[in-house]
Structures are given as C-alpha cells and as structure tokens.
Amino acid sequence: MAEAMAQNLLQDNQLNRTSFHFQPQRNWLNDPNAPMYYKGFYHLFYQHNPLAPDFSKIMIWGHSVSQDMVNWIQLEPALSPSEPFDINSCWSGSATILPDGRPVILYTGLDDNNKQQVTVVAEPKDVSDPLLREWVKPKYNPVMVPPSNVPFNCFRDPTTAWQGQDGKWRVLIGAKEKDTEKGMAILYRSDDFVQWTKYTVPLLESEGTGMWECPDFFPVSVTGKEGVDTSVNNATVRHVVKASFGGNDCYVIGKYSSENEEFSADYEFTNTSADLRYDYGKFYASKAFFDSVKNRRINWGWVIETDSKEDDFKKGWAGLMSLPREMWLDTNGKKLIQWPIEEINNLRTKSVSLDCYEFETGSTFEISGITAAQADVEVTFNLPFLDDYPEILDADQVDDATLFDHDNSDGCVYGPFGLLALATNDLSEQTAIFFKVIRRGNGYAVVMGSSEKRSSLRDNIKKSSHGTFLDIDPRHEKISLRCLIDHSIIESYGAGGKSVITSRVYPKLAIGEAAKLYVFNDGEKGVIMTSLEAWSMRNAQINSNPTY
C-alpha cells in the first residue's frame, strides 16, 4: 500500500514534465554546452548536478547524443572535476572543430585557489569514437586565467573559437571589470590552441550591464537562411555578439575585422527593454553552433523553473532546454529570425484545420480534436478596415507594462486576440498568447505578449507577463503565431520568428486530457482568423534509457 501511494505521488509530481523538450531523467540542468555534430551524431552537453534538483557547489557536464536533435540517448558525464584547475566544478564552455576534423572543448574550471575561474582545454580520448564518450585534460591546463582588471569569479564561458585570415585562433571569454558594472567579451588569440594571449582591448564592452555570461560570436549570411562556419568573414556576412545578463540573452549585430580586431556594432547594449533579445520570456545562457550537415546555425537556451525549490525536489528534476532553433538574419538586416528546426515537425500526428473564421468582440472558440497539452499550433489573423479607426491608442500614451498586460486593452481597437493555451473549460486557468495593435507615429505597431497571470491556481509560482513589439506593418501583412505547447512550457513564435516568447507555467487543473486550447478575441472590434492548423505531438525519446 505504501509503495503504491508513493508511486501515485511520484506520478502526480510528473504532470508538468515535458514530452518533447530536452531534459535529463532526474536532477538539475542549466546551461547548454558545446553543441556540435560529429561522425553522424549531434552532441549536447549541459551543466548538470547529478545528485539533486538544484544548483550545486560541484557541477559536471552531462552528455547526450542524437541523430535528429529530437530524440536523445543519455551517455556518461563528459567532464567531472578531477584536477587542481577544475576540482571545484566544470562550468560552461564551447566546442570547436579543428581543420583536421578533431573536436576540442574549452570550458570554465573552478580551481583549487579560492574557486578562481580559469579556462581549460579538453580533448577526446578516442577521435574514432563517434559518441565521444571520454575526454582528457592535458597537463598544460589551464590555458587562460583572469587578468588583473577582472575579479577571480567573473571570468568564464569561452565561446567557440574561430580563425582569422592570419590563421590565428580567436576566442571570447565573458567577464566584468573589477569594481564597476562594465560587462565585456575579452578576446584571446593563439597560434596552436595551447598558448593564448589576451588582446589589448575587449572585442566589445558596455557600461551598466554587469557580468556577461555565456557570450556567443558568429557570422550570419546577409542573404538567405543558410548558416556559415564560425570562421567565415567576408562581404557576404555580418556578425552577432550575444551576451547573457540581467536574466536575458541580448545581442547586437555589426561588422567584424580580424585584421584590426574591431567589431563595429549597429547599436550598444543598454540593459533596458531597448536591447534586442533572442527571447522575451524565460530563456537564458544559450549556445549556438554551425550544423555543417544542413548548413544552418542552431541555437539552444536554458529554460528555468519558476515554481518553488520545494516543488523541484518533489518532482525530482529542474530545468530543461528550449527546442533547438534555426537562426538567420532578417531581410532588413536589423535582427535575427528564429524558427524550430524542421525535424520537430516529425512529431506531428493528428491534425485539425480551420479557414477564414471571424471572431467578434468577446468571442472564444475551442480547438478540439488534438491533445491540447502537447500540441503544435499555427494561426494567422487579418485586421479588416484598420485605417477606419482613428481612435486606436497611440504608443506614446501608455507604458510597455500596460501594453504587455493581457487584461488591459484600453484604447486598443484591435486586441487582445490570440490563443488561450493550457486552459480549463471555465478559463479559470489559461495562458494567453496575444496581440494588440496600437498607433505609432503615422503607422501602426503590433504588440505580442504572453500572460501567465492565470496560468495556474497553484500558489508559490512566479506568474509573469512578457511582451515585445513585432516588426511588421498590419496594414500590409497578416499577423501570424506558432505555439509549441508541452505541458509546462509554451514557445511562441510571432510573425515567422521575428520575435519569440517562452513561458513556463504549471497548471493545476489544465493537465493531460483536461487541458483545452482556444482562439479568442477580447478586443473592441472583430478580427478574421484567416487560417489555423494544429497538431497533436508525439512523445520524443529523451534520455529514457541511459547507457550508464
């Protein structure tokens, strides 16, 4: 009897576990590390505490492999503390594929000297092993230590290395200047990947941001979606610098010259809502890599838990990865587009579709016939007679917090309208992913938001409102949304991936078959849903049969 009760309790605590997002079977996960493709397998390493579902004083590198980045096999840990230079933890890092095809990892070790953060090289023990099960740490480590103007605990997370035209290797380390809040990406160079020399000035720095964690640096093609190798640098590409700070992954786009080590950014980091972000919800410490098989740049981010630490221990796990996202430069050259990799579509099963349905003010329509707790939904909206409503609210009249609030529609002729995901029949639980249209100057702006305020009847859960502006003109473009719903996470892609919002929610009642999905319009005028297609999603096979 006691065993049965314990099993039922365990099952109850797994109701919010995801079915097609990457996570270990148990315990803690945070930053994605060193994603790469090698000899037929995609590799994903990650920060992991194998003993408990919380961040630990001693962290290791978990390791899983896949042939499609959807279904994963868990392998032995790749890196664990073992030497004086990493005895207190193996923290985040990146992988670089050398010209001869060998992979090399650079990671952050916490050493035996007051847990100073140093950079460590690791190499595969057997390069013929496609699973890369074992890694060795050469005795010449560490290869980089904090410079004198950087605190001993603010020097971490090396990027993938790249080669300049002179053949030298370059890499960036995230850091913060001592006694200031200036964040920076410190540039190091090497002829042999062993001896590294700090360049005279950081590649990029910004006042007021604090520590730059998990920096990233890579080129993007100025034409088309095709990704390019990290070392490519010519007139056909621009470069992206990403830094994680203030709980967000922010990025700038600019031009990079390896001849004089200058990165000329189109704008600066401000540590405000003006910064471009990969994701306007719960998404952090991301890591991108170049997939040479399909010539694309893929990015993963860590999605945190927003329930309580006590809840995490009841579940036995904490933390998961976003879906892998393909990234490329928008046609306007001003920002990145993100979209789930095409392999995710292989999980789609039963589908429903609707065309040209008008939603009057205050209307709600259930999308039935799919598993609403585990679904992929694509919907488009059209706004008739937009120019006939001069009373539409001007953006200058209201702050962002009000615009991003689903329950506040003052002055908006259009919106909020969109989807209610993980909802109950009576809508006492719901997560709204919505749009509003407001005036901006002589034109219009589209607000995209996600509200978690009514996502759960449970207490001790952080329930936030997220939002941003979509870079589209609703007079000439339809408003589109794709939502991937997976029990306790909703990834929402607006306007074909121009903006993304990830929400973490923990329904109490809207779980399993009790979860519902609705299209809604709470605006003062009707909107036309021009198309909707929704699919039930199969379970992915994720680390269910560890090999150790």
**Any idea which residues carry the catalytic annotation?**
31
- Of the CA atoms within 13 Å of residue 321, those in its CB half-sphere come to 31
Beta pairing, strands 317-318 & 27-38: parallel
Please calculate the CA angle 97-103-104 and round it to the nearest 5 degrees: 100
What is the distance of C-alpha 69 from the center of its chain? 15
Please calculate the CA angle 384-388-389 and round it to the nearest 5 degrees: 100
- The answer, yes or no, to whether the previous bond of 416 is cis (omega within 30 of 0) is yes
Please calculate the CA angle 98-104-109 and round it to the nearest 5 degrees: 150
- Give dist(CA 1, CA 463) in Å, integer: 37
- How many CB atoms lie under 10 A from the CB of residue 193? 16
The SS3 assignment for 483 reads strand
- Give dist(CA 157, CA 119) in Å, integer: 8
- Give dist(CA 425, CA 491) in Å, integer: 22
Please, which residues have CB within 8 angstroms of residue 135's CB and are 6 or more apart in sequence?
78, 79, 105, 122, 123, 124, 125
Tokens encoding 476? 């000439």
What is the distance of C-alpha 372 from the center of its chain? 23
- Give dist(CA 261, CA 138) in Å, integer: 29
Beta pairing, strands 73-74 & 60-66: antiparallel
User: In Å, what is the CA distance from 81 to each residue of 107, 279, 308?
Assistant: 12, 32, 29
Length, in residues, of the chain: 548
